[in-house]
Structure 1
Amino acid sequence: MKKILLLTTGGTIACTGGGAGYAPTLDGSALLSYVPEVRGLADIELTGILNIDSSNMQPEDWELIAKTIRDAEDRYDGIVIVHGTDTMAYTSSAVSFMTLGLRKCVVFTGAQIPISKEGSDGRENLLDAVCTACSSGLTGVYVVFGGKIMPGCCVSKCDTEARAAFQCVNRREVGCVHQGKLRIFEYPSAPAGRPEWHIRVDNRVLLWKVTPGLSPDLLDACIEARYKIIILEAFGVGGLPMLRNSFLPKIIEWRERGILTVVTSQCHRGRCDMTIYETGRLALNQGAVCAGNMTREALLTKLMWILSITEDTDEIIALLRQNCCGEFGL
């Protein structure tokens, strides 16, 4: 029987009701009491490292999770992490980059409805996650939710209510799982180069959504806050305002101050290609970098991870363009 570590961090799956609203209170033992059949799949050991609403998850918590995985990897066949859904895609992306040397299967899961409530999806998701973590053919970080097995660096939460809350963006799901049976569509390729663990992120990266009428002057606060990278969520394939409320002067100013501008699309699917329209090319000519087709969660966390490795602009761009763990869509 496989030996699986179940890490709990809180989230909706662990919530109970109270006068102030739902809050995570259940520990790992309580969660498993709702899914006793899990004990028949694997030898489960429990560790609670956090017990928070995932809206409170911070970059230092990502580091804690990654360190816990590193320290436990050699003692278990797989690891399941129970996490709130609201920021799960950020955490799974960040952990994907920080654990490139991972040789085991790490699975994130959670629920849209507390496991203690009738009709909860938490029971099925937890069972599916443990089943996936027991797979000897999968290595790396995954999100298992609603019966889908998805790469941790290619998912986004796309629905606040549906059981299929997460979607695999710009690539196919790795597989599916139902009632203890796995079906793998395609095994992910190994990370590029010599994968190494680097468990650190630098949060001096800002993600800002561009909207009609937005004054670029609002972003002057980024300079005072000492941000090193600004990600602009642009229109369509990478268009930015260049007439009224033009972003071009700010991109030039940021470049002169050593701040890198990275542009991605607001669209959920497809790629950012700033060579198509004049508005995109003007930004490229002044040093802006096009992000390609990563999810916003992967882009933000990858740049935080890269910034903890180097602050050299050319090196940041080179690492950004490297497909480290399958974060670029197909």
Structure 2
Amino acid sequence: METTSKKKHICVLATGGTIASRPTPNGLMPALSGEDILAMVPDLRARCDIDCVQLLQLDSTNLQPEHWIRMARAVAERRTQYDAFVVTHGTDTMAYSAAALYYMLENIDRPVVFTGSQLPAGVPGTDAEQNLLTAFHAALGGRAGVYIAFGGRVMFGNDARKLCTMQLTAFGNINRPLAGCFAGGRLTWLAEPPVSTGAFRLHDQLDTRVGVLKIVPGLPPKMLEAFVNAGFRAVILEGYGLGGIPDQESPMNFLPAFQYAKDHGCCLVCTTQCTYDGVDMDSYEMGVRAQQLGVEPGGTLTTEALLPKLMIELAEEV
């Protein structure tokens, strides 16, 4: 961690989550402030100057795209005042929020690091302190970009996914190498961040008319038509394997539904239900036919990354 004579200035954006929770008669609920959480790890203030902004106080299950906008604007408004940002966040939707800010904070020139915990701060066995230390090491490391720091790992913000409901190593990096790892009180960087190619730009407009449809055996194609009829401008299709979706050889042939979506101006993007490797819609006939009807391959991006990316692109269409 940085120990130069001039301490770095870090802004913590607290949003609630398990890390801030306390028991109630109805289960865990966010109750601790960001300042409360920081007080449990006094070593942090010995290493850097910290300001804490209580942006939200929510279980992350209740976070919506409007909250991504609040987070992104909070960073953008304070960007030149701080060396880095740490966002404390619930685990359930952290991957969505980190991916959203990854795209919303284009060419961000300092670190923005998300973290949280599987167990509330201050309880026996909690992972909160270790995750905060990992996040602050990443923040003070100075590598620009949006990251998730969790379970001794630092992941790029658009390639993380919550894989475990209980284990402390809850998040995994998907289709990209780890950005770094934290062990023995030391952060080791393992991969370089993407090179910025321009000035910082905030994308704070989102079109939330983006749906996700998981393809399962027996799912009628009319489900996709229902998304179109409900006014969705884009639908992410979670297909099988490399991007397989039933075609003319199946009684649940989706090809006419693809044409229906195309005729009504609804963008379709296909990803995979598999965790790793992404889609390749050129491998099988069904994928080729789907592309001929306008279905776009999502490549190696996860649903968590595709969702906010599409929301931004739709909002900025001329």
Decide: shared fold, TM above 0.5: yes
Report the Cα distance in structure 1 between the residues aligned to 2:137 and 2:94, rounded to whole angstroms: 19
**How many residues get paired?**
310
* 1:122 correspondence with 2:136: no
Write out aligned runs for 1:134-153 (5 A).
134-136=140-142, 138-153=143-158
Match of 1:90 among 89, 96, 116: 96
* Structure 2 partner of 1:157: 162
Amino acid at match of 2:225: D
2:274 aligns to what SS in structure 1?
A: coil
* Structure 2 partner of 1:281: 288
Match of 1:177 among 166, 182, 193: 182
CA contact (8 A) 2:107 2:198 kept: no
Provide the alpha-carbon RMSD of the alignment: 1.3
* 1:232 correspondence with 2:233: no
Report the Cα distance in structure 1 between the residues aligned to 2:76 and 2:200, rounded to whole angstroms: 14
* Structure 2 partner of 1:54: 60
Normalised by the length of structure 2, the TM-score is 0.94
Write out aligned runs for 1:236-251 (5 A).
236-242=241-247, 243-251=250-258
Amino acid at match of 2:21: C
Report the Cα distance in structure 1 between the residues aligned to 2:232 and 2:26, rounded to whole angstroms: 35
CA contact (8 A) 1:109 1:144 kept: yes
CA apart distance, 1:192: 4.9
- CA offsets 1:245-293 (integer angstroms, 9 cap, x no match): 1111100011001111111111000120111111111111111111111
Structure 1 unaligned residues grouped into runs of 5+: 312-330
CA contact (8 A) 2:99 2:158 kept: yes
Report the Cα distance in structure 1 between the residues aligned to 2:225 and 2:239, rounded to whole angstroms: 18
- CA offsets 1:79-115 (integer angstroms, 9 cap, x no match): 0000000000000000010101311111000000011
Q: Calculate percent identity across the aligned residue pairs.
A: 38
Amino acid at match of 1:140: G
* 1:168 correspondence with 2:173: yes
1:26/1:179 CA distance change after superposition, 3 Å: farther
CA apart distance, 1:217: 1.1
Report the Cα distance in structure 1 between the residues aligned to 2:184 and 2:36, rounded to whole angstroms: 21
* Structure 1 partner of 2:4: none
* 1:189 correspondence with 2:194: yes
Amino acid at match of 1:172: P
Report the Cα distance in structure 2 between the residues aligned to 1:285 and 1:219, rounded to whole angstroms: 17
Write out aligned runs for 1:257-272 (5 A).
257-272=264-279
1:208 aligns to what SS in structure 2?
A: strand
Report the Cα distance in structure 1 between the residues aligned to 2:272 and 2:107, rounded to whole angstroms: 30
CA apart distance, 1:17: 0.2
Runs of 4+ in 1 over 6 A off after TM superposition: none
CA apart distance, 1:194: 5.6
CA contact (8 A) 1:128 1:179 kept: no
* Structure 2 partner of 1:221: 226
1:252 aligns to what SS in structure 2?
A: helix
